[in-house]
Amino acid sequence: MLRFGCAQVVIDRLDPLVNPGQIPSGHVHQIVGGNGFNASMTTGDVAGTASCTTCAFSEDFSNYWTANVYFKAKNGTYKRVPQLGHAYVCSEHRTSTHAKHSQTSIQR
């Protein structure tokens, strides 16, 4: 299991590695990390274009993106399955109330 201590930046049809510059991409990702994420990012130092991050480590301006998973109901409709693991990482910078909530959430 892979967990990131980062809140979500956006859920969008963007994939600058598979479909550089293409908007929309043919698939959906949940993106976390630096605010420099965009459809035409290069393979260079993308962290250098960010000025802030959603990650617990304030020095981490990198981006991380994962494909979204969908549940297909019997009636044929789809619902996105929430990705929660990335938001529930305890750190010394969190309040004790948040840490208690995080420990409970991880055990789901």
Helix (H) or strand (E) holding 64: strand 63-67
Domain edges within the chain: 8-106
Higher pLDDT, 96 or 74: 74
Averaged over 54-74, what is the pLDDT? 88
Q: What pTM did the predictor assign?
A: 0.63
Averaged over 32-60, what is the pLDDT? 84
pLDDT at 27: 87
19 within 8 A of 26, measured Cβ to Cβ:
yes
The phi, psi pair for 63, rounded to 5°, reads -115, 145
Query: Which range (13-17, 24-28, 32-36, 88-92) has the least confidence?
Result: 88-92
Q: Minimal CA–CA distance to 31: which of 58, 53, 49, 1?
A: 53
